[in-house]
Homo-oligomer: A and B are copies of this chain.
Amino acid sequence: MAPRLLPFTPGASDAASRARRGRVVTAHGPIETPAFMAVGTRATVTGLTPADLAEVGAQVVLGNTYHLMLRPGPDLFRRVGGIHRFMGWNGPVLTDSGGYQIFSLAADRTVGEEGARFRSYVDGRTHLLSPERSIEMQTAIGSDIMMALDVCLDSTADATALRDAMERTHRWALRSLAARRSEQALFAIVQGGVNADLRRESAGVLAEHPFDGFALGGLAVGDTRAEREHITHFAAELLPADRPRYLMGVGTPADLVHAVSAGIDLFDCVLPTHLAWQGTAFTSTGRVRITRGPAAHADVPLDAGCDCSTCAKFSRAYLHHLFKCSEPLGPRLLSLHNLRHYHALMAEARAAIALGNYAAFAKQKLDAIDRHEHSDRRLGGAALPG
């Protein structure tokens, strides 16, 4: 049986919820959980340096195996000695398996038991992404935590399709474990869509094996917020308490606050950076679309309650001006702020758990978010889905 490679110490837990503090220890330092992982798809969190990431409180960066296998490719990672040195980030890195991108992005895709064949968007050549090939790629990338290749479906697909995908995901997870030759940790991904029975079965099967952590995959793809919250709450409890629990690709601040109360330890989501590049900021008083009229003359910080350098040094009026001029400093400053918003929220959550009052903290946060979204809708639509 393969050894477990990722020390995880569950810490304080909350009396009135399943929220828990914890610490994951990697070769590149610890991750205090619950933690949000900044998404660095192509070995870069778009527009930001590793020093910027440290400034916003990022502990761990996520890289996308699908994109990195196509460019710059595994040979370059082997040559430079891995992603940490390549991108200049010395903290922990988690790589996904490529599964999500294969099923959502890849052209000319054919999937069989062996793996998925698809055409590269870089050079048009056909690639095979199998469980073994994904582990080989993630080994070359040199992440601290690898993910097993999974089969992703729309979470509301029919039960037969969800079962087939889940069972293949289990077989692929075991092949991934068998293929590992490095000291990198490996997480399995629980599938089953919004079907509670399948989620229970998936968690039960995978928990029998010495994975270093478990993820809930296939959420935030077609499900409603209520479905997502229900399945997260239900499935998180089925995962072994002695290993980290990772909710993949989720979500809004409200999603995170809820999922922490379900006992989730790790998150990733492109939302804070993607919305920043579109000109939308998360603030302590709701979402702000910086390109809209009211920002044009607003000689005030983006968020008076934020301690990031964007809020310390620049006004909404200046950010509005940068976006109106398509100046790249605008998205850079908004990304920095949005990532700080997420990381500060996680730091607050950790503090609340340590104090034993996470449930009260969560209620207050969720009430405030609902109030701002309601007020945004009443004012004519600064709110966004989720």
**B-binding residues in A (CB < 8 A):** 42-44, 46-51, 71-72, 76, 79-80, 86-88, 296-297, 299, 309, 313-315, 317-318, 321-322, 324-325, 327-329, 331-333
The reply to whether A329 and B47 contact each other, CB–CB distance below 8 Å, is: yes
In the complex, the chain B residue whose C-beta lies closest to that of A81 is: B299
The reply to whether A321 and B72 contact each other, CB–CB distance below 8 Å, is: yes
In the complex, the chain B residue whose C-beta lies closest to that of A335 is: B328
Q: Which residues of B contact A322 (CB under 8 A)?
A: 42, 44
The reply to whether B46 and A317 contact each other, CB–CB distance below 8 Å, is: no
| 4 interchain residue pairs of minimum CB distance | A47-B328, A88-B313, A42-B325, A72-B321
The reply to whether A80 and B315 contact each other, CB–CB distance below 8 Å, is: yes
Interface pairs (15), CB distance under 8 Å: A43-B318, A46-B327, A46-B328, A47-B327, A47-B329, A47-B332, A49-B313, A50-B313, A71-B324, A76-B317, A76-B321, A79-B299, A88-B313, A88-B318, A328-B331
Copies in the complex: 2
Measured CA separation A44–B309 after assembly (Å) = 16
The reply to whether B329 and A48 contact each other, CB–CB distance below 8 Å, is: yes
Measured CA separation A314–B314 after assembly (Å) = 28
With contacts A315-B86, A317-B86 known, is A329 near B72, CB below 8 A? no
**What secondary structure prevails in chain A residues at the interface with B?**
helix
The reply to whether B296 and A72 contact each other, CB–CB distance below 8 Å, is: yes
Measured CA separation A289–B347 after assembly (Å) = 42
The reply to whether A325 and B71 contact each other, CB–CB distance below 8 Å, is: yes
Measured CA separation A327–B45 after assembly (Å) = 9
Measured CA separation A314–B51 after assembly (Å) = 12
Measured CA separation A309–B50 after assembly (Å) = 12
The reply to whether B299 and A87 contact each other, CB–CB distance below 8 Å, is: no
Q: Which residues of B contact A309 (CB under 8 A)?
A: 51
Measured CA separation A72–B318 after assembly (Å) = 9
In the complex, the chain B residue whose C-beta lies closest to that of A314 is: B88
Q: Which residues of B contact A314 (CB under 8 A)?
A: 88
The reply to whether B80 and A317 contact each other, CB–CB distance below 8 Å, is: yes
In the complex, the chain B residue whose C-beta lies closest to that of A321 is: B72
The reply to whether B43 and A299 contact each other, CB–CB distance below 8 Å, is: no
Q: Which residues of B contact A42 (CB under 8 A)?
A: 321-322, 325, 327
Q: Which residues of B contact A332 (CB under 8 A)?
A: 47, 328, 332
Min C-beta distance of A263 to chain B, whole Å = 35
* Among candidates B46, B71, B87, B321, residue contacting A43 with C-beta atoms closer than 8 Å: B321
In the complex, the chain B residue whose C-beta lies closest to that of A45 is: B329
Min C-beta distance of A61 to chain B, whole Å = 13
**Contacts A72-B317, A76-B321 supplied; 16 other A-B pairs, CB < 8 Å:** A42-B325, A46-B327, A46-B329, A47-B328, A49-B329, A49-B333, A50-B313, A51-B309, A76-B317, A86-B315, A86-B317, A87-B318, A88-B313, A88-B314, A88-B318, A328-B331
Q: Which residues of B contact A47 (CB under 8 A)?
A: 327-329, 332
Min C-beta distance of A70 to chain B, whole Å = 10
Measured CA separation A40–B47 after assembly (Å) = 19
Measured CA separation A329–B48 after assembly (Å) = 6
Min C-beta distance of A35 to chain B, whole Å = 23
Measured CA separation A297–B44 after assembly (Å) = 18
Min C-beta distance of A120 to chain B, whole Å = 13
With contacts A42-B321, A86-B315, A88-B314 known, is A297 near B79, CB below 8 A? yes
